[in-house]
Chain A
Amino acid sequence: SQKIEQNSEALNIQEGKTATLTCNYTNYSPAYLQWYRQDPGRGPVFLLLIRENEKEKRKERLKVTFDTTLKQSLFHITASQPADSATYLCALRGSGTYKYIFGTGTRLKVLA
C-alpha cells in the first residue's frame, strides 16, 4: 500500500542553523509534492509545491528537493528562527487524481 514517512521524532536545532526535514514514500509515483506548515490548534498552511520533473524549488529561506529515484523529498529552512517552530507536513498527489496523501508530519523546534 502507499506509504509516506516523515520522522515522527521532533527535530530540535539552534537558531541560525539549517533545518532539514525528510519525506520518504513507497509504492507511489507522485506527480506533485507539497509541504505545509501547521501550528498547534490551527489548520495547515501551504508553503511550497514541487512537480515530478523539478529537482529543486526555493522560496525565501525555504528550499525543497524532489528525488523520484530515491523516492524522497527534503525540506530545508535556512537561517532558522524560533518563529519557524511548528509541525511540517508533506503531501503527495499522483497525476489523474484530485486526492493528496499526507504524511504524519515532523515537529520542528528552533531553540534561541
Chain B
Amino acid sequence: NAGVTQTPKFRVLKTGQSMTLLCAQDMNHEYMYWYRQDPGMGLRLIHYSVGEGTTAKGEVPDGYNVSRLKKQNFLLGLESAAPSQTSVYFCASSGTARPQETQYFGPGTRLLVL
C-alpha cells in the first residue's frame, strides 16, 4: 500500500505558466482534498471531491481547477501561475468506513512561482 502519492515533489514555474499536480490513492477512498500550506496560515482547503466525477470549492479556490475522472486520482490545475501561488500543496483522502474522519495526507508538492 503506497497510501497517498503526489507528483511532482518540487516544481519551479514562471508567472503565467500552467501545470497540473497529480494525487493518487490506493485505499479506495471516496473523499479527496487539495490543501495549500503557507507559513503562519495553516492548511487551507482549495477544492475537494466526495466521489468520482464530483468536485466542490473549498476556502481558497480562485486560480485553481480540479478533476476527479477516476476514483483513485485527483488532479489540481493551475491555469496561469502567479507568485501568490508559491506554496506547499498537500493532497489528502478519507474513506467511508470508520474511522471515516481520518484524512491520509500525501508527502506534498513544493511549488515556486517566479
Q: Which of B50, B92, B102, B107 has the most CB of A within 10 A?
A: B102
Using CB atoms, name the residue of chain A closest to B104: A46
> Which stretch, A9-17, A73-81, A94-102, touches the partner chain B?
A94-102
Contact in complex: B42, A46 (CB < 8 Å): no
Contact in complex: B108, A42 (CB < 8 Å): yes
With contact pairs A49-B99, A105-B42 given, residues A43 and B48 touching in the complex (Cβ less than 8 Å): no
A22 interface contact, C-beta 8 A: no
Name the interface size band of chain A: 20 to 34
Chain A residues contacting B50 (CB-CB under 8 Å) are 98
Measuring CB to CB, which residues of chain A are less than 8 angstroms from any residue of chain B?
4, 8, 32, 34, 41-46, 49, 89, 91, 93, 98-105
8 cross-chain CB contacts under 8 A: A32-B101, A34-B101, A42-B107, A42-B108, A91-B103, A93-B101, A99-B58, A102-B43
Measuring CB to CB, which residues of chain B are less than 8 angstroms from any residue of chain A?
4, 31, 35, 40-45, 48, 50, 58-59, 90, 92, 99, 101-108
